[in-house]
Amino acid sequence: MAEPPAIVSAAVLLIGNEILSGRTKDANLNYLARQLTALGIRLREARVVVDETAAIVAAVNECRARYDYVFTTGGIGPTHDDITAAAVAEAFGRPLIRNPEAVRILQDFYRETGRELNEARLHMAETPDGATLIDNPLSRAPGFRLENVFVMAGIPVVMRAMFESVAPSLACGDKVQARTIAAFVAEGDIAKRLGALQERYPALEIGSYPFMREGRFGTSLVLRGTDAALIERAAQELVAEIRALGVEPEAPEAPEADERAGD
């Protein structure tokens, strides 16, 4: 009997009023979703969380209990509304400390740059007691990890550098393969057949995504799973179902890792 797929799950918490107000267009979720998928980690939930301690605490505690990993972005800078570190400390019931290693990193960086390491900047050295620092090779102010929660910067280029430093330490599951078949067929026309196909292949995730091209409506049909042979069988059945509607599908794509890593 084949081994069931190894599933590792994750959630992303995007923290910041600026995202909710529309002032800042988030670039972190798409990057993290693609990177995690490429590693074989399934992103199961994403939330945008207001800059309020109670909201952050609730989101962290709910997600860390439900998923293998939680990644947060935003709220670890030097200003009064950067409250993520304190909120994560509260979520774990840990004291917030001025991390000696983080202080040393900031001291070295600001000495090299000739700028003042003032009290506001030292705020970026605060972590929950027992946290492990996440390296930041760009602006040097570190993120941190506490158990299965990774706390990272909101600035996309800094967040990416932080994620790259922790990615090798993550436990990964079976990678998801995907095949997309597109056809000029309306979702409503293929829906019943697609539902039946899903019932025949419960181990696969089957999704439909409408598009308009050349002034015509069509649907991209995506098969996802960890078993390439199973995807192949389902794809052939799907092609037959589309042809039964009198439509010729576009050539099925070869199976590949779903949403490969990239910018």
Per-residue pLDDT of 190-244, as tens digits, reads 999 999 999 999 999 999 999 988 888 999 999 999 899 999 999 999 999 999 9
HSE toward the beta carbon, residue 113, CA cutoff 13 A: 12
pTM as predicted: 0.83
> Is residue 263, in this structure, part of any structural domain at all?
no
Name the residue range of residue 80's domain.
8-169
Residue 61: its pLDDT value, please? 98
Using CA atoms, how far apart are residues 260 and 236, in angstroms rounded to an integer?
24
Give percent of the chain with pLDDT exceeding 70: 93
pLDDT band at 174 (very low <50, low <70, confident <90, very high): confident
Residue 88: its pLDDT value, please? 98
Same domain? For 52 and 128 the reply is yes
For 168, counting Cβ atoms within 10 Å of its Cβ (0-12 exposed, 13-18 middle, 19+ buried), the class is exposed
> Is residue 142, in this structure, part of any structural domain at all?
yes
Structure-token pair, residue 12: 């992303």
Provide the CATH number for the domain around residue 189: 3.30.70.260
Same domain? For 142 and 79 the reply is yes
> Is residue 127, in this structure, part of any structural domain at all?
yes
Run of H or E including 41: strand 41-49
Same domain? For 121 and 245 the reply is no
Residue 101: its pLDDT value, please? 97
Compute the average pLDDT of residues 178-192.
Answer: 94
When divided into structural domains, the chain yields a total of 2
Q: Which residues pair with 126 in a beta bridge?
A: 98
Same domain? For 85 and 109 the reply is yes
Residue 173: its pLDDT value, please? 87
> Is residue 213, in this structure, part of any structural domain at all?
yes
Domain end marker among 126, 144, 169:
169
pLDDT at residue 252 tops 50: no
pLDDT at residue 113 tops 60: yes
Using CA atoms, how far apart are residues 19 and 69, in angstroms rounded to an integer?
22
> Is residue 1, in this structure, part of any structural domain at all?
no
Compute the average pLDDT of residues 58-78.
Answer: 97
Residue 231: its pLDDT value, please? 95
Domain end marker among 169, 193, 222:
169
pLDDT band at 261 (very low <50, low <70, confident <90, very high): very low
Same domain? For 119 and 195 the reply is no
pLDDT in tens, 20-35: 999 999 999 999 999 9
